[in-house]
Chain A
Amino acid sequence: MFGYILRRLLYMIPGFIGIILITFVLSRVLPGDPAVMIAGEQAPPDVIAKIRVELGLDQPIYIQFVDYVKKLFQGDFGTAWHTGHTVLQDFSSRLPATVELTLASIFIAILIAIPVGIIAAVKKESILDHISRVFSLIGACVPIFWLGLMFIFLFYSKWGFFPAPMGRISDGINPPTAITGLYILDSLLSGDMIAFKDSLMHLILPAICLSTGTMAIVARMMRSSMLEVIGQDYIRTARAKGMRESKVIMKHALSNAFIPTLTLLGLQFGFLIGGAVITETIFSWPGVGGYITDSILATDYAPIQAFTLMSAIVFSIVNLIVDVLYGALDPRIRYE
């Protein structure tokens, strides 16, 4: 088992090297000179030239690459000029926000999609099945930006159920004492119910908004794998033994049907971090997504590179975890 995990970790390294190289080259090949963006539209050419020298952009690309890798090994991800902070500072303040949003939306997706998928499979072709199909279709098709704006318009502007879409917590309320960086968890851990309630209210709308796509896909996946399992011989056997239907479904069918869904959730986690971009912009959520959008628009290389590398690492590790979880769900799967 540990040998397997170690091997998988080692296999990741060439992938990361490839990613470092590709993002580096791609960000430089794209047209647009960061020095022009830094200097602003009114700056004369000599100012732009000065900035180019300062950033090392006047050097040939391979020298820039060597410099970049050297710094990377020293743990220096560079400075984001469009915020004036180092990339690490920016990430450490924004990553918890994105992780909180992503985890919450995965949580919501699981909470709703799995039961819906199971019911849709068990009551196949019933009215419940059809309803779940229509909602999945809507969930998968509705653009997040539209949904987000509608949420804000209805639930904040019109009815006032939720607080203003400005960040993670209201103005007059102090963020909870930082332990994990996730406001919900931190406020619970420090028993800060004021912060808990407020940050939860801030989280709900963007989390639902972000989860719709995942919810739809997971529900459909759950339904189809459940249907497949229900047709198997061992389910018939279980029923023949006189076992209660609920136990047949929850114990025998679910644990087998869950494996493909788990794979999907692992993949979705990676997508959600990327998909958070739009949600974060609409809800002014101070996460990594909005930061990366700004970096791209500003041709700010350092954060883009760091983010791609970080996403690759997160993605690989989540998928490794998923693979390990298979073993827990299905005793037939063994790792050597």
Chain B
Amino acid sequence: MLGKKKWMSSLAVLLTGALFVTGCASNANSNQGNQDTRKTMTIAYSDGGQTLDPAEASDLTSDTMTMNAYDQLVTYGVKTVDGNQKADTEDIKPMLASEWKVSADGKTYTFILRDAKFHSGNPVDAESVVYSMNHVKNSQNGSFMYQMASIKKVTAKDDKTVVIELNRPNHMFLQMIGMYTFSIIDGKTVKTKPKDYLKTNTAGSGPYKVDSWDPASQAVLSANTSYWQGAPKISKVTMKFIKEPSNRVMLLNKGDVDLAIEIPPKDVDSIKKNAKLNVTSTPSNRILYFAFNEKVKPFDNAKVRQAINYAIPYDQLVHDVMYDQAKQLKSSIPSSMPGYTEDGFVYKHDLNKAKQLLKEAGLPNGFTFDFTLGSGFDDWKDDAVLIQAELRKIGVTMNIKPMARPEFLTAVNQKTLTTYISKWTSFVNDPGYHLGLLLYSKGSSNAFSYNNAQVDKLWEQAEIEKDKQKREALYKQMQVLINADAPWVYLYEYNRVVGSKKEVKGYITYPDECIRFFPLSK
């Protein structure tokens, strides 16, 4: 007993001693300065991000961090739609390239670089552009964008002049090199660092530097005060990673974050009621569609697919599932994309018409099919249940089979499913990109290998058409043909919902959904 007491008392002495010794020394918070809250901003994100390498980034958090740490050769203009600021992807503006010339055959672009400096102090020169383009070419994820941009060769003509040669004229080229994938990297600095340096560090010339990034909690970005466009108004941006959507809403309501992304549609009304907050809900390029495997009977019959199209409760999906934070999709491309048309879209919720089409298809008593529900999105589940209920009314039984996301994505790639719903976001705001990947017969993301020779021909024609008007006319013809074939049911196009404090200004919607911090202020 005595031994125990002795032991306890020596521990107490030790702890007090430790407190005494260290307590007098300065600690991490002994020199707390007050920060000007008007110059800092906290933004709630959901995921923590995967990489800081612009060529490998493929999730919103990574994209946003790289977008703000790097500049690109060109960028997009801004227009105002319904009172909200929005990127105008058809208006290409100078960024690191102050001007450029296109050769008569449309295959050679010559860029003149402006005087700008990387965070390291190195100048942005032609060599760094060559380095950056090669970096994209040799990357895992970005290499496919490099191919899509049809880049053949990148050469430094002199210190400030870069020549990019293309394999063929490509009307999407300028728009594509404005994406984060084609960020201009400080090659000189990276070459002196270990191999995977770019994965966890940035070496750009952008308005912000990534001071710290911990995918578990937060990323802190500080302003690049010697930015070539002037120092950003917000000197420090903290991106907080908050998984739980209801917590993001609560934090915003309490004023603990200045801005929160991915607000659940059901919470939009509660935020609108808060006099201190704003909700910006703008159409995005994210669409939701229901895909049929035409190799599985009876979906080989266009009449059956059309019947399903008539049985979908479109208004209910938009209103009851999405709380009106979405819009019915009426073509294979999102409505904000150039060349969009609703021509040939005849479908509305009409069960009699659906029944009649089934009868014409020789299935008056309906049929049974499997539907695969990928996990991870609450609205998909509600959509599936509502669609199931409507289909039952026309005698069609839809068996919903839930599947975890990794397994779902693998099955989608292998084209082994019968039907499913899936979303798609075209970061390149162009039907050539969108339809080329999704509905061109050789498109790599063509859900069930939809194949219409006429559609293919029109797409190929549009690819090399230099005239914008003529090109868009071709894309319109394609959409009409696709509408008649009904390879999908078009469900809805999502709104991008961002909640912010009233005083937060300068939010602009981009097709890649990344927030540019530079124009932000409060």
Contact = CB atoms under 8 A, between A and B. Distances in A.
Given A84-B199, A176-B28, A284 B242 contact: yes
B238 to A, nearest CB: 6
Nearest to A282: B244
B143 interface: yes
A152 interface: yes
B266 to A, nearest CB: 15
Nearest to A167: B217
Contact of B216 (A94, A165, A177): A94
B50 A82 contact: yes
A39 B141 contact: yes
A48 B444 CA distance: 11
B29 A192 contact: yes
B377 to A, nearest CB: 12
A236 to B, nearest CB: 24
A130 B309 CA distance: 60
A168 B425 CA distance: 35
B302 to A, nearest CB: 27
A171 interface: yes
Interface stretch (A68-76, A213-221, A290-298, A304-312): A290-298
B175 to A, nearest CB: 16
B240 A284 contact: yes
B140 to A, nearest CB: 6
A160 B242 CA distance: 19
A83 B410 CA distance: 21
B27 A195 contact: yes
A299 interface: yes
Contact of A194 (B29, B48, B407, B444): B29
B242 A166 contact: yes
Interface stretch (B17-25, B221-229, B472-480, B500-508): B17-25
Contacts of B29: 173-174, 176, 192, 194-195
B407 A191 contact: no
Contacts of A175: 28
B273 interface: no
Contacts of A164: 251, 254, 256
A42 B413 CA distance: 10
Interface residues of A, number: 67
B133 to A, nearest CB: 18
A52 B114 CA distance: 40
Nearest to B404: A32
Nearest to A284: B242
Contact of B27 (A31, A81, A177, A298): A177
Contacts of A97: 216
Interface string A191-215: 1101100000000000000000000
Interface in A181-199: 187-192, 194-195
Interface string A36-63: 1111111111111011001000000000
Contacts of B141: 38-40, 43, 47
Interface string A141-166: 00000000100110011001000111
A208 B246 CA distance: 20
A33 interface: yes
B243 A284 contact: yes
A279 to B, nearest CB: 11
B50 A81 contact: yes
Contacts of A123: none
Interface residues of B, number: 61
A51 B243 contact: no
B243 A290 contact: yes
Contacts of A42: 58, 424-425, 437, 445
A85 interface: yes
B35 A172 contact: yes
A275 interface: no
Contact of A36 (B49, B256, B413): B413
A287 interface: yes
Nearest to B20: A191
B292 interface: no
Interface string B42-66: 1000001111110000110000000
A85 B242 CA distance: 20
Interface in B1-48: 18-19, 22-25, 27-30, 32, 35, 42, 48
B253 interface: yes
A40 B59 contact: yes
A287 B243 CA distance: 13
A224 interface: no
A166 B404 CA distance: 28
A195 B243 contact: no
Contact of B251 (A90, A160, A166, A191): A166
B33 to A, nearest CB: 9
A281 interface: yes
B298 interface: no
Contacts of A117: none
B404 A284 contact: no
B246 A149 contact: yes
B255 to A, nearest CB: 10
Interface string B463-478: 0000000000000000
Residue from the set A30, A41, A299 with the largest chain B CB neighbour count within 10 Å: A41
A304 B18 CA distance: 38
A118 B444 CA distance: 67
Nearest to B140: A51
Nearest to A165: B247
Contacts of A78: none
A217 B413 CA distance: 47
Contact of B58 (A40, A177, A192): A40
B484 interface: no
A192 B243 CA distance: 30
Nearest to A34: B406
A286 interface: yes
Interface of A: 30-34, 36-48, 50-51, 54, 81-85, 90, 93-94, 97, 149, 152-153, 156-157, 160, 164-168, 171-177, 187-192, 194-195, 281-282, 284, 286-287, 290-291, 294, 297-299
10 contacts: A31-B404, A85-B215, A149-B246, A157-B254, A167-B217, A173-B32, A190-B27, A192-B27, A282-B244, A284-B247
Given A32-B407, A164-B256, A192-B27, 15 more contacts: A41-B409, A41-B445, A43-B144, A82-B215, A84-B51, A90-B216, A166-B251, A176-B29, A190-B23, A191-B25, A194-B29, A284-B247, A297-B405, A298-B406, A299-B406
Interface of B: 18-19, 22-25, 27-30, 32, 35, 42, 48-53, 58-59, 140-141, 143-144, 199-200, 214-218, 238, 240-244, 246-247, 250-251, 253-254, 256, 376, 404-407, 409-413, 422, 424-425, 437, 444-445
Top-7 shortest CB links A-B: A32-B406, A191-B23, A44-B444, A286-B216, A192-B27, A40-B58, A174-B28
